[in-house]
Amino acid sequence: MIVPFSHRSSPAIPKEAFVDGIGRVLYLVETLNVGGTETQLVQTALRLHARSVPVTVACLSAEGPLLEVLRQAGIPVVEFRKGKTLLSINGLHQVLRLAIFLRRGQFRVLHACDLLGNLLGVPAACLARTSIIISSRRYLADVEWYRPWRNKVICMLYRLSTHVVVNSTSVRDLLVQRDGLPEDKIRILYNGVDVDRFSTARRDRQALLPAVVGPAKLIAVVANMYIRGKGHACLVAAATQICHQFPETVFLLIGDGPERPKLERQVIESGLQKNFLFVGRRKDVPELLACCDLSVLPSEAEALPNSVLEAMAAGLPVVATSVGGIPEIIQDEENGLLVPPQNSHALAEAVIRLLEDSDLAKRLATAGQERMRTQFGFDRLLEALYQLYSEAPRAQGQRQKAHLPEDWRFTRLFRRPSISRGTE
């Protein structure tokens, strides 16, 4: 539940609230629906909160299943509702409200986690003279919002930031080569994965997937169905070849979105109804992965997909396309198999190879899980964030900053944001 919050009633920040010189941290994201960026934010916030770092999460729309996760942990959630667009009077209103909130709350770090978070958060943090301003890019393909002039706007915001956080070398290279961003401004922080949570999940097919009977080989495909670029259509085409050789194979599709009806029709038209199980969005992904024999991600574009990290953490052999940051996770033939995107035959051959060769599948799975433990655990991510947030801010002249009036009397003009303080 979102309850009113008053700037004027903000308590003074005790010295003991500042851990390792980090100070107060505000994360900013569009919503708290289930997605790769949102899940990473929430898991990071929970871990920082557990280490006594004062964390607040701000949203443009405080909705979604992950809101309850933060509320139960006692992490405050603030809403700065944008309306239809940020490019409006209301959008300016929200920028000013956020600037006031940052200034009054004495936040040292503003970390914007997605496109709309960048657009709202960076200008507000500059107005509030926030010490550390982090913007983010966690995807390769430009979303629909982008136009040439809008891209110039977002590049300007990147330059106003202290650092731009990306989650793969491929995204960094895009910003450097296409947009001319200085390489030293960009920090690569690979996504974190809770290896223990996935590696110890209980396998119980009968309880979780009663529709799957017998010794069927179960292949996990964890991907939202918002766009065609996740490669589900290519997967269905590959399944025709796979199921001809292994007719008992079942593809477990975890995720949902507007593309789902089209995919269901494609499955029916291919005569593969018995080989595909659409389970929608699930909260028990670790347990579902524990029921599977391998995992596939046939995406056409990715930055650093959580689904690949989670499948490897769960101890599954993985077949994925060699796009974006996936080759930074998987070394072909060492801890997984890589195939070209939009190539259903190559995808089918790689899956068939693992179904035929259990020794290869086991070797790749073991190596993949070990890689997750040593290089993609949350301890590594938190250590990198501590370093990033603890850095001394650059001199005032090195970053353009607007200034708000020192007396802040004009704050009375703006509606107070709402905040969820979580359970007591």
Which sequence spans correspond to the domains of the chain? 3-192+378-420, 195-375
CA angle at 359 for the pair 358 and 364, rounded to the nearest 5°: 100
Distance separating alpha carbons of residues 415 and 400, to the nearest angstrom: 27
pLDDT of residue 20: 56
Q: In this prediction, what percent of the chain has a pLDDT beyond 90? A: 74
Neighbours of 347 (CB within 10 A): 27
Q: Which amino acid is at 42?
A: V
Instruction: Determine contact, residues 117/88, Cβ cutoff 8 Å.
Output: no
CATH 3.40.50.2000 fits 3-192+378-420, yes or no: yes
Q: What are phi and psi of 411, to 5 degrees?
A: -65, -20
pTM of the model: 0.81
Q: Which two tokens stand for residue 283?
A: 């909260």
3-class SS letters over the chain = CCEECCHHHCCCCCHHHCCCCCCEEEEEECCCCCCHHHHHHHHHHHHHHHCCCCEEEEECCCCCCHHHHHHHHCCCEEECCCCCCCCCHHHHHHHHHHHHHHHHCCEEEEEECCHHHHHHHHHHHHHHCCCEEEEEECCCCCCCCCCHHHHHHHHHHHHHCCEEEECCHHHHHHHHHCCCCCHHHEEECCCCECHHHHHCCCCCHHHHCCCCCCCCCEEEEECCCCCHHHCHHHHHHHHHHHHHHCCCCEEEEECCCCCHHHHHHHHHHCCCHHHEEEEECCCCHHHHHHCCCEEEECCCCCCCCHHHHHHHHCCCCEEEECCCCHHHHCCECCCEEEECCCCHHHHHHHHHHHHHCHHHHHHHHHHHHHHHHHHCEHHHHHHHHHHHHHCCCCCHHHCCCCCCCCCCHHHHHCCCCEEECCCC
Q: What is the pLDDT of residues 328-348, one digit of tens each?
A: 999 999 999 999 999 999 999
The reply to whether domains 3-192+378-420 and 195-375 share a CATH topology is yes
State how far the Cα of 23 lies from the Cα of 421, in Å rounded to an integer. 19
* Pairwise pLDDT comparison (88 vs 43), residue with the higher score: 43
The answer to whether 31 touches 60, Cβ cutoff 8 Å, is: yes
Q: How many residues does the chain have?
A: 424
Tokens (6 digits) for 152: 């110039």
Q: What value does the mean pLDDT take over residues 82-104?
A: 87
Burial class (CB in 10 A: 0-12, 13-18, 19+), 384: middle
Binned at pLDDT 50, 70 and 90, residue 139 comes out as confident
43: confidence class by pLDDT, cuts 50, 70, 90? very high
Q: Residue range 42-68: average pLDDT?
A: 94
Tokens standing for residue 415? 């509606």
pLDDT of residue 310: 97
Measure the N-to-C terminal CA separation of the chain; round to a whole number of Å: 13
- 323: confidence class by pLDDT, cuts 50, 70, 90: very high
Which CATH architecture best describes the domain 195-375?
Answer: 3-Layer(aba) Sandwich (3.40)
> Residue 62 and residue 176: Cα distance in Å, rounded?
33
Predicted confidence at residue 215, as pLDDT, reads 85
Contacts of 16 (CB under 8 A, 6+ apart): none
Residue 372 has pLDDT above 50, yes or no: yes
Could you tell me the CA-to-CA distances from 411 to 80, 254, 321, 406 in Å, in that order?
A: 15, 46, 51, 11
Question: Hey, what are 337's tokens?
Answer: 């198999």
Nearest to 272 by CA among 253, 288, 249: 249
Q: What is the pLDDT of residues 205-241, one digit of tens each?
A: 999 999 998 889 999 999 999 888 899 999 999 999 9
At 252, list the tokens. 């477990």
Beta bridge partners of residue 219, listed in sequence order: 251, 294
Written as six digits, the tokens of 219 are 């292949």
Confidence of residue 396 (pLDDT cuts 50, 70, 90): very low
Rounded distance, CA 112 to CA 118, Å? 5
Distance between CA atoms of residues 100 and 288, nearest Å? 44
